[in-house]
Structure 1
Amino acid sequence: MIPLSVLDLSPIPEGQEAGQALRQSRDLARHADALGYRRYWMAEHHNMPGIASAATAVALAHVAEGTQRIRLGAGGIMLPNHAPLVIAEQFGTLAALHPGRIDLGLGRAPGTDQVAAQALRRNLASDADDFPRDVMELMAYFAPAEPGQRLQAVPGAGQEVEVWILGSSTFGAQLAAYLGLPYAFASHFAPGQMMEALRVYREGFRPSARLAAPHAMIGVNVFAAETDAEAAMLFSSLQQAFVNLRRGRPGKLPRAVAGYAAQLDPQARAMLDHALSCSVVGGKETVRRGIAALLERTGADELMVTAQIHDHAARLRSFAILAEALSPALQPA
């Protein structure tokens, strides 16, 4: 069985504020650590009223203090928003505090709308070569400092940080293959090119000092509960959030409602069916079968599981049910 990991967007549920969401994220990380999950990642998003992890490195530092074994990281940092040196220092600091436990997933999307992207970057001028160059510059800062080196990441130089390339198209797959890095595909919300990207990555992979063979992770929404009907109701929070986002009305994570998808027009339902096709929703046995089918189809080396569930106790229980369903996958590495 392959490793299971957690992607936490630190959702802010309706009726709550960001501080509570971040405290619940720390609780989830502690819970996942105890259950034997491999990694816990947070993601960089901006100008999103329902996501509390914009300052991703700061949020990870808060979470890290509540965990013991689980690897911690970003899934991901949107590198075009930052100077590579700043990210090297941030994640070098995390690695200095929690040695051997820090991952850094890198993406080239802004993680926001054009207004916030302008505020973050000051200008949006870029070309296709900027992201690969920035990735290579960032990785160089993690190398041990050479005598007389004028610019160093402190902390950062010589720190053990596992670098991943993230993507939802073949661009990231090609880059990860060329650099010999592990690759994570965002199939939990953009599954369209998943199979092609995995093929491109595996066929083009070049071994590196960081990784000898291709290692691919895919994102999957898992909503597990005691019954299929209860899980389907929990899933409605993500469905509502996705429809609201696509209609230009992002907000806090909605409360679950029964029969939500049945109320939608055919166009909205088709959009959800496509965007959230990498989702497994149900009781323990349904989840077990769904995960097995996904692994057979993709050959993924790891699963990165996310669950946008309004009720925190139900979210914790969902990850526990998944652990019970796939317990052989959760042996510590």
Structure 2
Amino acid sequence: MTSLTSLPVGALEVAMVQTGARAADTVRDTADFARAVEELGCSRLWYAEHHHSPAIGAFPPVVLTAHAAASTSRIRIGSGGVLAPNHAPLTVAEQFGTLAALHPDRIDLGIGRGPGTFHEPTARALRRGADPTTDDEYRADVAQTLRLLVDEVALGTFPQPWLLASSTAGAALAADLGLPLAFAHHIRPDHTEAGLAHYRDRFTPSRWCERPRVLLCVETVCAETDEEADRLAGPMDVIKAGLLQGRSESPFPTPEEAAAHSFTAGERRALAGFKAQQAQGDPATVGKRLAELAEATDADELLLATPVYALADRLTSFALVAERIRSTGVA
């Protein structure tokens, strides 16, 4: 079985806004989280782009990246990701090129495609009324961003570009452009095997990456017991159940509110199927599952997404995983 001690393990921060809390409180917590995961030995910390969500703060990844980079000294910081349809390529290149000049060898530029919102008026406002981006337009935007980093910004140091994907189409684009691939197993795990195979089969070396390089993002909730992990995962289960029913995101409930939520039989089956492909439970269970995923996918790195209610519980989850890796390396 793969030893987790041989793989870098990073963190994806989605900045969940607690019920009854202000978004300002959540954004202030991000610096504490960054310093804590750096001390735990995480390889990198990425910020996701979201808009008009009652559960996730609308905090631009470039701003959080700048703040976290200034608050830490070693860990790599970046976007996971900046969503290309919402931004001009020159703006992205200038912003992340500047960050890379200010924090050499520490900045990542993860680029993705989704709108970052389920709210159509917000999505259209981000695109200034334009229609959804086509495959060809997305490819052109990513390629232009990479060119501009070199030709226009030209600050002498570059962010490390990654392409985010959750499908074979996204994986194929990463392969064609010679980019490292961050695969969203935490969103569409059923596409992971085919997507990674497609990426490795089609990969073309580039100035950015000489060989296929895979980062696998896994939803990970770790607690002292399986029961406590189930409790902490409850609020996100409620959010997912709503999405399964076609409802847009709702406010992020407390664990107590989630425990009182009534799930349908179909929702329970869908949630169980999803969780079986992620990592949730006590340290032994999570360590075993992460090692299995790393081995099955031949990932070069893991990125852990831990969408739990409170900052303290999120940090405890990362601390337990880090201790499990240090003490055993394998499950």
TM-score, normalization by structure 1:
0.90
Q: Is 1:16 aligned with 2:10?
A: no
Residue number in structure 2 paired with 1:67: 72
Q: Which residue of 1 aligns with 2:148?
A: 141
| Alignment map for 1:166-181 (pairs within 5 Å) | 166-181=164-179
Question: Which of the residues 127, 130, 143 maps onto 2:134?
Answer: 127
Which stretch has the larger CA shift, 74-83 or 111-120? 111-120
Q: Which amino acid aligns with 2:229?
A: A
Tell me if structure 2 keeps the 8 A contact 1:142–1:159.
Answer: no
Identical amino acids, percent of aligned pairs: 38
RMSD: 2.1
Whole-Å Cα distance in 2 between the matches of residues 127 and 38 of structure 1? 34
What residue ranges of structure 2 are gaps of 5+ in the alignment? 1-5
Matched to 2:104, the amino acid is P
Deviation at 1:290, TM superposition (A): 1.3
The C-alpha deviation readout for 1:197-228, integer Å capped at 9, x for no partner, is: 00001111111122111111111111111111
2:27–2:59 Cα contact (<8 Å) kept: no
Q: Which residue number in structure 1 is paired with residue 240 of structure 2? A: 242
Q: What's the CA shift for 1:276?
A: 4.3
Q: Which position in structure 2 is the counterpart of 1:109?
A: 114
For residues 85 and 256 of structure 1, what CA distance do their matches in structure 2 show? 42
2:42 to 37, 42, 45: 37
CA distance in 1, matches of 2:313, 2:290: 20
Once the two structures are overlaid, the 10-residue window that deviates more, 242-251 or 283-292, is: 242-251
Cα 1:226–1:276 change in 2 (3 A) is closer
Which has more helix, going by share of residues? 2
User: In 2, distance between residues paired with 1:170 and 1:239?
Assistant: 26
* Counterpart Cα distance in 2 of 1:214 and 1:268: 36
Q: Which deviates more from structure 2 when the two are superposed, residues 52-61 or residues 72-81?
A: 52-61
Match of 1:56 in 2: 61
Q: Secondary structure at the match of 1:15?
A: coil
SS in 1 for 2:189: coil
TM-score (norm 2): 0.91
The whole-number CA distance in structure 1 between the counterparts of 2:63 and 2:139 is 25
C-alpha distance in 1 between matches for 2:251 and 2:56 = 8
Letter in 2 for 1:134: D
- 2:193 and 2:55 map into 1 onto residues whose CA distance is 30
Q: Is the 8 A contact 1:225 1:317 kept in 2?
A: yes
Give the AA of the match of 1:137.
Answer: Q
1:267 equivalent in structure 2:
266
1:27 and 2:32 are equivalent in the alignment: yes
Number of paired residues? 321
Task: Tell me the SS of whatever aligns to 2:255.
Answer: coil
In the alignment, which residue of structure 1 is the partner of 2:3?
none
Task: Give the structure 2 partner of residue 210 of structure 1.
Answer: 208
CA distance in 1, matches of 2:275, 2:31: 26
Superposed CA offset, 1:97-151 (max 9, x none):
21111101111111113221111112115432111111111111111x4xxxxxx
- Structure 1: runs of 5+ lacking an equivalent: 146-151
